[in-house]
Structure 1
């Protein structure tokens, strides 16, 4: 118990294993080992949501095929909060780039990791492998955790008498958590939770909440909604509200989730997690102003919250207030978040704030601290700083390095193409722009620059096609509209 209190969970489980070897019927030791193993594998799922490939492609929970903008996560609001795609980078789904990377989301989708639909649904062995789902991932995680523990499961779930175990109160509660977080077996956990709920005469809110969690993991979202609502009637708990919000997200009902969060915030007005959940939903709907207000509320409740600080810094940066964003990033450094991404953003804020000497120093620190996932972004930003300072040679070399260390960095290839156009190297420019279009089909800049190159070299038909594609991605782009009008007038004259 002393090891358990000091969070030395592996030592606690090992001691309990030795005690159980001499007396396998000691319920107190069994309970303690079960809790230690669960705490070792526990993940706070109230703030994270991960979808498998099959769940994304075969989602049948949408309530409308063509929802109005702002009422569905699959169709965010257009130009919400005055944002324009030319001012703030967008993801492939049309949402603004966020300041904090969360499970299931990406600030910039990497084309090299994009899914091949046919391969994803077939699996590596056609006809034998199941599609990649969240439940399949849970099963693999559970198998891995059992293998790392010596290959033998602590509890033989196949031989359990669930009806008898459900009547044993605390032991059943520890077992259902073990099944969910260690063995990752939500089906067996659902059976135990159902028996325990019946044994408690359907009046125990805790077991109803566990039933809702099991149904959610199994993809039975309407059943999960019923159980979580029933649990809230019996006992108003913050975590139950957050789990119900996750269910509404999967059902593609963001406005219902926001209403639920607003009601919960009245009862639990001192917790930042509700404000953070509301900010994430607003961000998914591209409501930048509402998301910023929610992040400010979360930061007022929890001044050390990294997610709220980083997201507000990004919002101020793209609102043309780099000095304010710089103060937020300095706050992140004070909170201990000193990774490569923070130094990279600090360098950009210093550059756009006119502090060029500090910008290069921060980007140099970013190169030292950056991992393989963002090293290409750092070199790309060094090239942006070099272009702003007029050193085109340095920018060219930095872009070459960015495209070498990250061969899927579409923005670097796009800018390389533009620099090659300036040097009149049309063939190299075309190759780089085609590479950018292949890697980043969501980048309107690659298609616009390709159209401009084709127009200058006399390939008007291809220029018209690429200009159309650029306008599909960014209909308000004025230069692209002007080029399209010029091409239309040229075709009319012909």
Structure 2
């Protein structure tokens, strides 16, 4: 009894690593369904946390339209598609020379078009959006619980055990088809009024790219229960199908049930941003910031909008708030340095960029920061220092196009001055 108590205590206190190890030791000499159940739950929760907090919308997932039956039209009507370059993205690229480190255009995985201004701050982006349904993918190991797979359908613990088994197979093993088999078998035994199984089948269909089946299951689940996860999954599906108007309609339906719910408002702002409706997107980001004052993405987008709207003083206030509420990073300090530059706060420019270089972890960020330092040097009229900063930027990353063009422009200007 002491081992079971220790396992349960570790699980309740969220010490999942120790809980899994103790479960493996306890299952070596005996078979206990309760211990296996806790081991499955602990492994599933760990995989969920490693993959994502909640399954967010992924814009433009990689897929081959030639083999997908649900591919969208190549020439959609104006204002009804993401597949175009928005005005904000065009303005964004024009001003990229002043803030390349944080306002740099990055290509979409599918279309190669520039991202909109939403991706200006790396700390506000959802860069770690892992495919949680395929996060595991590991085969059966010696410690994999097996006895729950052979539980009788007449057992009173079959329903909760089947849900646990489904999530374990879906998240830890990454076998979507096997998870679908478990869901079908559970639906035959259980009452079909449980919305969770329709939602789980929709997740499986979504991973497999079967969007029509996904929509049917989600609509059925929505009739059974108005749950926030169903609305978020519907938004993800319509975004993947390049139907932003349908995604916005789902957001409005969800907000009519869950008033001022931050994730739905945030998705609504992202959709508007991707469509190029900067004013509407900013309005939604402000609503998110009012409901959740510590939301990094909303604050970063508001700050960036003010920066490119020739209001660096207001943007500086928002970036200082990000610095106070988040872990320090090179992107935030780089933005602070640029805001100080345009606010003429010369005593804070170099300390901010020094901190940005200190926190930078990859060559691309360092190259961008040195490029911005060259812009600071040009603002003071020091051509030699600007040249050295550009040379350092190219030495760190030889493929930095902005530094190469700026260095070429400096060489041309210097040669003309010498001729005169």
TM-score range, shorter chain: 0.7 to 0.9
Which one of the candidate residues 373, 385, 388 is aligned to 1:382? Answer: 373
Query: Equivalents in 2 of 1:191, 1:104: separation in Å?
Result: 32
Query: Equivalents in 2 of 1:165, 1:416: separation in Å?
Result: 75
In structure 2, the partner of 1:15 is 22
In structure 2, the partner of 1:250 is 240
In structure 2, the partner of 1:66 is 75
Distance 1:105 1:253, change over 3 A: farther
Matches within 5 A, 1:75-474: 75-76=84-85, 78-79=86-87, 83=91, 85-87=93-95, 90-92=105-107, 93-97=113-117, 98-101=119-122, 102-103=125-126, 141-143=135-137, 151-152=141-142, 154-155=144-145, 160=149, 164=153, 168-372=158-362, 373-424=364-415
In structure 1, the partner of 2:4 is none
Per-residue deviation, residues 231-285 of structure 1 (Å, max 9, x unmatched)? 1110001111101111111111111001110111121114211111111111211
1:27 aligns with 2:33: yes
1:41 aligns with 2:62: no
In structure 2, the partner of 1:443 is none
Query: Equivalents in 1 of 2:87, 2:69: separation in Å?
Result: 28
Contact persistence 1:163–1:192 (CA under 8 A): no
Per-residue deviation, residues 138-174 of structure 1 (Å, max 9, x unmatched)? 65x424x569xxx4361459x9459949981110111
Contact persistence 1:138–1:184 (CA under 8 A): yes
Contact persistence 1:50–1:104 (CA under 8 A): no
In structure 1, the partner of 2:3 is none
Distance 1:371 1:86, change over 3 A: same
Query: Equivalents in 1 of 2:209, 2:254: separation in Å?
Result: 24
Give the TM-score of the pair, scaled to structure 1. 0.72
Contact persistence 2:331–2:356 (CA under 8 A): yes
Deviation at 1:386, TM superposition (A): 1.1
The higher relative CO (CA closer than 8 Å, separation ≥ 6) is in 2
Give the TM-score of the pair, scaled to structure 2. 0.84
Query: Equivalents in 1 of 2:345, 2:66: separation in Å?
Result: 46
SS of 1:169's equivalent in the other structure is helix
Distance 1:70 1:165, change over 3 A: farther
Query: Equivalents in 1 of 2:12, 2:160: separation in Å?
Result: 18
Gaps of 5+ in 1: 107-133, 426-494
Query: Equivalents in 2 of 1:61, 1:246: separation in Å?
Result: 15
SS of 2:17's equivalent in the other structure is helix
In structure 1, the partner of 2:101 is none
Distance 1:355 1:104, change over 3 A: closer
The number of aligned residues is 389
Per-residue deviation, residues 268-322 of structure 1 (Å, max 9, x unmatched)? 1142111111111112112211111111111111111111111111111111111
Per-residue deviation, residues 387-422 of structure 1 (Å, max 9, x unmatched)? 112111111111111111122221111111111111
SS of 2:136's equivalent in the other structure is helix
Query: Equivalents in 2 of 1:417, 1:33: separation in Å?
Result: 61
Gaps of 5+ in 2: 1-7, 97-103, 108-112
Per-residue deviation, residues 31-90 of structure 1 (Å, max 9, x unmatched)? 1111000011113342252766544786653432211232112125x4269957534665
Query: Equivalents in 2 of 1:384, 1:57: separation in Å?
Result: 45
Query: Equivalents in 2 of 1:68, 1:420: separation in Å?
Result: 46
SS of 1:262's equivalent in the other structure is helix
Distance 1:57 1:390, change over 3 A: farther
Which one of the candidate residues 10, 29, 35 is aligned to 1:3? Answer: 10
Distance 1:59 1:291, change over 3 A: farther
Query: Equivalents in 2 of 1:229, 1:8: separation in Å?
Result: 37
Contact persistence 1:275–1:294 (CA under 8 A): yes
Deviation at 1:326, TM superposition (A): 0.5
SS of 2:173's equivalent in the other structure is coil
